[in-house]
Amino acid sequence: MNYSSGSGVVLEAPVLPNSEEELAGPPRAAVPTKRGERISSLDVLRGFSLLGILVVNIESFGGPESLHDIPVGTAKAAFLGPHAHLNLVILFLKWIFIESKMRGLFAMLFGAGAVLLTNRIERRSSADNAADIFLRRNMWLVALGFLHGAFLWTGDILFVYGFNALFFLYPCRKLKAKTLFIAGTIIWIGLATPGYLRVMGAFDNIKLARQMSAISAGQATGKALTPEEKKIQQQWDKTVAQNAAPSPKDVDADVVEGRQGYWGFLQNKGAKYLEHKGQYESGFGFTETLGPMLIGMALFKCGFLTAELPLSIYLWTAIAGFLISTPLYIIGLWKAYLSNFYFLVLDKWVYSTYYITGEAGAIAIAAALLFIIKSGIARPLLRPFAAVGQTALSNYLLTSFLCQMVFVFGPWKLYGQLEYYQLLYVVFGVWIVNLVVSPLWLSAFEFGPCEWLWRSLTYWKPQRMRLRS
């Protein structure tokens, strides 16, 4: 049963296309998915996760910081002054419900979409057509990601999404759900975690700290330092200095660089986009998106993401996921806060559990939302989220443009000028644009503008844009 919102967005009890109808008659040419064939639960989840990602990304848009998504080394001190406790609450809520979870959920939905797309094309046409379209679709996504990263915002995710799709998702699309889920978990937690900690320098930091502990114990007994121990001590001093909060002078220099406008962005960041992206991905950075993509393929195949399972499964999955992820971050962040965010405490208690909490939390959030979708409550409130999800590419690029205009490119140049809690004002403003403009656009047009371009390039044919009356 379909529930139209009047804006062209349909909320429905998700039903996959009838395989007998799709296979009847001779093979047909592959065509894009029509609006009536969309699965509303996927659109709602995609829209929700896309909006959630901005809560974390806004820190990169808004100013410098010396730690990963921790407001230390910022132009406006987050934990001093009258708003210190408010900022601390925001930090906890971000890490418990948003950090790594929304990106993980968005990647899961991308993996689910890969299975859905290829299955539909193979039913309508042939496996050869599916491979051809899938290849073109994701080659263009890589190109769009490069343009986005080099000319608009260096935090782009489209490039690595297209990369993973080309090299991994198509060969894995026929694997069983259980195999995909296990493989995704191994990659997300087992491979991405060491790669992440290596990039953060956590392994070297912890090793040095242990060596320094032994050296200090020897010094306490009057033992003289060996040449090797002196080198370790010098290296430790250097590490401590590198992980200390930057000086106000360095922060001010970062702010000045970040406010140089569009041409300054191109020279200082855009020109180095591929270099930085290559360094990160070569350190197994791609695994943090590949893992959830494979899990998303598994959850789609078993009917989880299409809201086909009993309500009780979604309820207990949400409870179990939050019970795993929430305590880990509450304990870890509190210990980090009490240590004044000392880098070793962050390495041990926050960053080391980054992807464990990411997977558990992302699945929990998906389950909670699917429980709401399947129960039918708050349906009118979900329609704008479905519209955002249906135009996710356009909204993603629009968000980058709006944020860069506010902080870097436009006349305001607020980069480094807002306090930590004030960044949420910009988030809410962008959300309003996303949630209002998307349904209005879909009331007149079949696709979002960037979706139209992407589909037209994929099928080598301009797609019909306006809705038929």
Q: Is it the case that residue 20 has pLDDT exceeding 50?
A: no
For residue 253, pLDDT over 80 is answered with: yes
User: How much is the pLDDT for 324?
Assistant: 96
Work out the average pLDDT over 20-29.
Answer: 34
Q: What percent of the chain lies above the pLDDT cut of 90?
A: 78
Structure tokens at 439: 């349904």
Burial of 36 (0-12, 13-18, 19+ CB in 10 A): exposed
Mean pLDDT confidence for 140-144: 97
In contact, 255 and 416? CB cutoff 8 Å: yes
Contact yes or no for 127/27 (Cβ under 8 A)? no
Mean pLDDT of the chain: 90
Q: What is the dihedral of CA 219, 223, 229, 231, to 10 degrees?
A: 80
Give the CA count within 13 Å in the CB-facing half-sphere of 218.
Answer: 13
User: 3-class SS at 368?
Assistant: helix
Which amino acid is present at 395? Answer: N
Token pair, residue 203, equals 């392994």
CA distance 246 to 258: 16
Place of tokens 């114990």: 217
User: Residue 112: CB partners within 8 Å, gap ≥ 6?
Assistant: 42, 296, 297, 299, 300, 305
Q: Which candidate, 254, 253, 271, places its Cα nearest to that of 262?
A: 271
CA distance 292 to 362: 9
Q: In the chain, where are the structural domains located?
A: 2-459
- Cα(299)–Cα(293) distance, rounded to whole angstroms? 10
Q: Does residue 284 surpass a pLDDT of 60?
A: yes
pLDDT exceeds cutoff 50 at 19:
no
Q: What is the pLDDT of residues 61-118, one digit of tens each?
A: 999 999 999 999 999 999 999 999 999 999 999 999 999 999 999 999 999 999 999 9
pLDDT tens digits along 313-348:
999 999 999 999 999 999 999 999 999 999 999 999
Q: How far apart are CA 27 and CA 384, in angstroms?
A: 36
